[in-house]
Amino acid sequence: MFRFFFQRDPFREAGKSIARGSLLTGLFLIGFGMLVFILRDLFAFLAAAVFFMAGFSAIGYALRIFWATRRRTKSEDAYRENVQIHIRDPFE
């Protein structure tokens, strides 16, 4: 009957959960560091491949922008039929 009214200290529970999370994070970082140390050639190749693909992506994006700007002619922007520009006078 008394077990339904029992409450643990919330600060102690919060401290335990923070300590548990910190321990798991530390173990994960140590394991990842060991993995990188053992397989450094593989990780170097993967990092190089990511930068290589990012470079090609940036070049492709730049070429698409250059092509889009050259495709537009000045005659399209200079004159449009049945268009009136209304400028509001701020002193009215």
- What does the block give as tokens for 81? 């039929």
Over pLDDT 90: what percentage of the chain? Answer: 37
- Output 92 or 68, whichever has higher pLDDT: 68
In this prediction, residues 64-87 reach a mean pLDDT of 73
Distance in angstroms (rounded) separating the CA atoms of residues 37 and 62:
37
In this prediction, residues 70-90 reach a mean pLDDT of 70
Under a CB-based contact definition with an 8 Å cutoff, are residues 43 and 36 in contact?
yes
pTM over 0.75: no
Distance in angstroms (rounded) separating the CA atoms of residues 61 and 53:
12
- Output 1 or 43, whichever has higher pLDDT: 43
